[in-house]
Amino acid sequence: MYAIVEIAGHQYKVEKDQQVFVNRLDAEEGKKVKFDRVLLVNNGKDVQVGAPAVSGAEVTAQVERHLKGDKVLVFKKKRRKGYQKLNGFRASLTEVKITAIKAGGAKKAAPKAAAADKPTAEKKVAAKKPAAKKPVAKKPAAKKPAAKKPAAKKPAAKKGAAKKTAAKKTDKTAK
């Protein structure tokens, strides 16, 4: 049997007699704590999924000890800029041992309808007939103005060609 439980903002898959490291809890060592935000319970036969939590489900644990986690180094660097920054921290953790998993009230499926309650063919035909339709006046579709096409652009004359023609004209007039 296992459960998925939310503890201190994180989700954990837990089983009985399992030791889990979670974010620091406000409980003394040796005390029992209960987690009622159980998202899923699997007891081997059926699975209960909460929406968002399974009602009535509960996970009981005992606080073993408080400790600090391994050091985590955070290194930042911007290349070619001469910027480097090194930071580190050790997370505060609590070690808990799962002592019990209590499944909540199981959601049972609704019983199937008896054969007498099933609709007969006559009832089905009657149900399929549409109700009297009311005439609906449709508005005529508004005509959209035709989109104007952009005017075709004339290719610009080359500047060099204009100078040559102007020079030729001046030469002919000089003779």
Specify the pTM: 0.54
125 compared with 135, residue with greater pLDDT: 135
What number is the average pLDDT over the span 107-125? Answer: 52
* Each residue's pLDDT tens digit, 151-170: 777 776 666 655 555 656 66
Domain regions of the chain by residue span: 2-76+87-102
State yes or no: pLDDT of 60 exceeds 70. Answer: yes
Q: How crowded is residue 60: how many other Cβ atoms within 10 Å of its Cβ?
A: 15
pLDDT, position 11: 95
Tell me the pLDDT tens digit for each residue of 89-113.
999 999 999 999 998 765 544 444 5
